[in-house]
Amino acid sequence: MTITTPDWVKHAVFYQIYPDRFARTQRQALPPEMQVPLESWDSLPTPQGYKGGDLWGVAEKLDYLQELGINAIYFTPIFQSASNHRYHTHDYYVVDPLLGGNEAFFDLLAAAHERGIKVVLDGVFNHASRGFFYFNDILENGPHSPWLDWFTVESWPLSAYDGERAANYKSWINNRALPEFNYENAQAREYIMQVGEYWIAQGIDGWRLDVPFEITTEGFWAEFRERIKAINPEAYIVGEVWTDAREWLAGDQFDGVMNYLFTGPTLAFTAQNRVEMSLVEHVDYFPYPALDAKGYAEKIEALLNLYDWEIQQTQLNLLSSHDVARILSVVGEDIASMKLATLLLFTFPGAPSLYYGDEVGLAGGLDPDCRRSFPAAEDWNLSLLEMHKALIALRHAHPALRIGTYKILAAEGNCYVFARFLDDEMIVVAVNTGDRLLSVRLADMAVDNGRVLYGAGKVDWLGDRTAMLEIPARSGMVLGNL
């Protein structure tokens, strides 16, 4: 089949926002449900505490995001929930009151779209919560509930809260707070399909799908795609699949996945033995063992051969997320490692996704520590911020970095060089992960001229389409012929 994906995603730079932690609104007239006691913004996050970030606060930060170069936002869940992460959904049609409710969301959506910024929401469709009305009815009415078959109950009475008794209904990873839907039930399936359709019709630009591999009902995601694309053919459907995702990326289900198969090798190459193993050894994206350039090239070639090129261009590439420790902490707060990895992120095929705060040097270990509040301006690492602005601007300025083909030119020792080609444009990216200056000779280039667009490296053209690059220690450079 012919694979089609949303064209805008190929040109997008995403910013992932965990709404409780990004920004509190500065408006004064708040509804009563937002006038509640909150944790101190600057204190370390706790599993259950609320910081009070909200969607009006995000709208007030759109100038900042636009100046950074962001043109797409991915929100972790925003629907009503009794948890700060909101993966315990109470109502799929109601935005959480602490976030400002539906009014704040529609204000934000309009403001983002006015600036050309797309908005993608998190669809938590494998499971709901004990507070979800249709499951709560089962808790109240037992086997008399009319929605009994929307879930899978194994015995009575339900043990929804008593941790000393086994949970006797099907729940995600046996977490009794997260009852799983029974999608063999046609009405439960139709309910979620209509939720997906509703928010697309309201104007959102796509869905990021939480643990979609847990839904094994035949044809579920194919139907979901068909119905979403019928409303907006350019809607983005991206799944949270950490490993080989070919099963979902044949063109009939998702447009891409969160590309942890890029994340792991990129951190293993740029940080090498600087990776803090305690933060990564129990998480399935494997930024270890350390890779040299040849090992990294092999991983990247395998990844680029895994999926159709149309899919490669709409993968969601990332270095950090709400599910893993932040890159700054993973690389042992080694700024050079972070800068090298970020250079590779913004020059790789697919849509780069920046986790809020990474651009200003926000650290964070494993959940909940990776969900810290966005820091005050006086605590920003301005060197990192300027680097992110420069690389995002470079990506926006050069179509080859967005949709150009990818070719590895050199991979030996600590030196990795590749090119992106589009028509007459060639962009060369060279990375030196070692501790000493490297010189690399590139012959048979597609062009016979070019200049340094980014980084401290130097280039000498020797004639006959041959270039000599000098790449300082622990740094990278970008060379362009335009």
pLDDT band at 249 (very low <50, low <70, confident <90, very high): very high
Of the candidates 96, 205, 240, 323, the residue annotated as catalytic is: 240
Average pLDDT for the chain: 97
- Measured distance CA(136)–CA(195) in Å, rounded: 19
Residue 51 clears pLDDT 90, i.e. is over it: yes
Residue 98 clears pLDDT 90, i.e. is over it: yes
Contacts of 247 (CB under 8 A, 6+ apart): none
Give me the residue label for tokens 């469709």: 125
Parallel, antiparallel, or unpaired: how do β-strands 405-412 and 256-257 relate?
unpaired
pLDDT of 165 reads 85
Q: Cβ distance 314 to 236 under 8 Å?
A: yes
At residue 199's C-alpha, the angle toward residues 196 and 205, to 5°, is: 95
Token code pair at residue 89: 């959904």
Give the Cβ contact number of residue 2 at 10 Å.
6
Closest CA to 214 of 191, 246, 239, 237: 239
Q: What is the pLDDT of residues 412-465, one digit of tens each?
A: 999 999 999 999 999 999 999 999 999 999 998 888 888 999 999 999 999 889
Enclosing H/E stretch for 405:
strand 405-412
333 is catalytic: no
**The CATH homologous superfamily of the domain defined by 402-480:** Golgi alpha-mannosidase II (2.60.40.1180)
Residue 448 vs residue 224, higher pLDDT: 224
- State whether the Cα torsion 167-169-172-178 is positive or negative: negative
Residue 266 clears pLDDT 80, i.e. is over it: yes
210 is catalytic: yes
Pick the CATH number of 7-126+181-397 from 3.40.50.880, 3.30.450.20, 3.40.50.300, 3.20.20.80: 3.20.20.80
Residue 167 clears pLDDT 90, i.e. is over it: no
Q: In what order do the strands lie in the sheet with 415-422?
A: 405-412, 415-422, 425-432, 475-480, 451-455
Of the candidates 96, 205, 210, 358, the residue annotated as catalytic is: 210
The answer to whether the peptide bond before residue 289 is cis (omega within 30 degrees of 0) is yes
The phi and psi torsions of 461 (rounded to 5 degrees) equal -90, 125
pLDDT band at 4 (very low <50, low <70, confident <90, very high): very high
Residue 284 clears pLDDT 80, i.e. is over it: yes
pLDDT band at 28 (very low <50, low <70, confident <90, very high): confident
Domain ranges of the chain: 7-126+181-397, 402-480
The average pLDDT across 171-185 equals 96
β-bridge mates for residue 416, sequence order: 411, 431
- Measured distance CA(422)–CA(140) in Å, rounded: 61
pLDDT of 446 reads 81
pLDDT band at 139 (very low <50, low <70, confident <90, very high): very high
Residue 224 clears pLDDT 80, i.e. is over it: yes
Burial of 350 (0-12, 13-18, 19+ CB in 10 A): buried
pTM as predicted: 0.97
Helix (H, G, I), strand (E, B) or coil at 436: coil
Give the Cβ contact number of residue 133 at 10 Å.
10
- Measured distance CA(57)–CA(45) in Å, rounded: 19
Residue 480 clears pLDDT 70, i.e. is over it: yes
pLDDT of 482 reads 57
Q: Cβ distance 72 to 205 under 8 Å?
A: yes
- Measured distance CA(267)–CA(185) in Å, rounded: 43
pLDDT band at 79 (very low <50, low <70, confident <90, very high): very high
Q: What is the pLDDT of residues 226-238, one digit of tens each?
A: 999 999 999 999 9
The phi and psi torsions of 189 (rounded to 5 degrees) equal -60, -45
pLDDT of 447 reads 80
First to last CA, the chain: 37
